Amino acid sequence: MKHRILTMALSLGLTAFLSLPAVAADDVVIVKFDASKITGLAADNNQYPFAADEVFDDNRNDQVCIVKQADGSQVNGDFGNPIIRNRKDDAIVAGLTGLFQNGYHTADIAWQYRFSTIGFISATFQFGMAAKNAATKTWKAQWSTDGTTFTDLGENWTLTAETLKEVSLTLPDGAIGKANVYIRIMGVGKELTDLLGEYTEDPFTAGTSEGLSYCTNSESQVGNVTVLGTPEPDIELTVPAKGYATYVLDHRLRLHADNVEGVQLLTVTAVAGESVTTAEVAVAEAGQPLLVYNGTETAQTVKLVKAYTDADGPTTFSGFVGTLEDKEMDASSDTKDYYICNGKAFARVNDAGTVAANRCWLEIAKSAAAPQFIAVARNSITAVSPVTRTNAGATPADGAWYDLQGRRYEAGTAQKGIYIVDGKKVVMSSK
């Protein structure tokens, strides 16, 4: 009779096999550019383009510089005027810190920020800015993922001279999960922030620098730049004490750094007769079937996260397989045996059913006497054979007994029934 393996799993206590990942996430800083750590002149600073002052991790590809709107080439400024400087003092308005320029026509240049949104499912670009004198009055933002083709982002905004303007831009879906995202903040048009009417005619006649005309005063600053994002949710698996769960995903994976000591990421590497061996995985390949081991004395919520570095781990045994979607599984047959993990052991599948998405199992060519269970030990899996009979009160070598639901019993407390002890199936009977 065909039925869901879910029903069978409940009877076997396969909680680790059935539990689906739980997720939770809050917005965090992806990058922050506020000149809190890096300051100085662009023209006299080997750190320009300037890196972010705060980053989520070391893989953010973060930098800021000023570029020409016409061709995207970097602008360095001079030692006097025009000038580009990363400032943490109050250049135009109090509390605004970040990349400042004076002299250039802000309709010719753009503040260009680069960062990575890999590992995030949404992001916002927040900043403040201020300007005065011959700086342009109207501004806009653009975004790109290649640094060449840019698209307008949000609506234009206007500045009032010497007044802080705060802007928040939601990044589009096309900018999420990218190795490089470019945001440009740029002046638009000829109208200036001039309060006193001193720049009624073209003021950009003081000279040229790097192919751009400049004037005496066009002070403008973008600062307090914070890119906030919602991280991709952690994958959370409930793993019993001294037990296992299986998992597979179509993305590289690694253990979260917050896991307790004693948790390991493994994969099955070989099957030889009645023994199955495993090896530790640092970064799993996309689609690689995994065993998550909890070596502690209590059940743990083990976290996995998507990885963006090269895979680093052994080759998985071809008979250890997984599914990304719910899958109809045949019962063990005359040619092949299937085993699913119940947290403590792999249990032979005797009836056809459905395996939940992101779960793994063993497919082993039929042997003369296929075991009903395959017990799991740390870094190795040993087939259960032969059956041993003992009387109540007998003590196993390590004092640990597990029933077929994966529950642990102390020595002498197990009642009549079938148990896994030191990789062997033990039938407990009365005296």
| Secondary structure in 3-state letters for 38-54 | CCEECCCCCCCCECCCE
Per-residue pLDDT at 411? 54
In tens digits, what is the pLDDT along the chain, a chain of 431 residues?
A: 333 333 333 233 333 333 333 333 478 999 999 999 999 999 987 899 999 999 999 989 999 999 999 999 999 999 989 999 999 988 999 999 999 999 999 999 999 999 999 999 999 999 999 999 999 999 999 999 999 999 999 999 999 999 999 999 999 999 999 999 999 999 999 888 876 677 777 889 999 999 999 999 999 999 999 999 999 888 999 999 999 999 999 999 999 989 999 999 999 988 776 667 889 999 999 999 999 999 999 999 999 998 888 898 899 999 999 999 999 999 999 899 999 988 888 888 989 989 999 999 999 888 767 777 776 555 544 444 333 333 333 333 445 666 655 556 665 555 666 666 655 556 565 44
d(C-alpha 136, C-alpha 69), whole Å: 14
Per-residue pLDDT at 111? 98
Per-residue pLDDT at 212? 97
* Letter string b/e over residues 29-52, b meaning 16 or more CB atoms within 10 A of that residue's CB: ebbbbbbeebbebbbebeebbbbb
Per-residue pLDDT at 334? 87
Residue 147, amino acid: G
Strands 424-429 and 417-421, by their bridges, are: antiparallel
Q: Region of 154 please: left (phi>0), alpha (psi -120 to 50) or beta.
A: left
Nearest to residue 307, comparing CAs of 358, 268, 250, 356? 250
d(C-alpha 342, C-alpha 17), whole Å: 6
d(C-alpha 18, C-alpha 4), whole Å: 12
Enumerate residues 6+ apart whose C-beta is below 8 A from 401. Answer: 408, 409, 410, 411, 413, 414, 419, 420, 421, 426
Per-residue pLDDT at 422? 56
402 membership: H or E segment, kind and range: strand 400-403
Per-residue pLDDT at 233? 87
Question: How many other C-beta atoms lie within 10 A of the C-beta of residue 273?
Answer: 8
Enumerate residues 6+ apart whose C-beta is below 8 A from 313. Answer: 267, 279, 280, 281, 282, 283, 284, 285, 288
Per-residue pLDDT at 385? 39
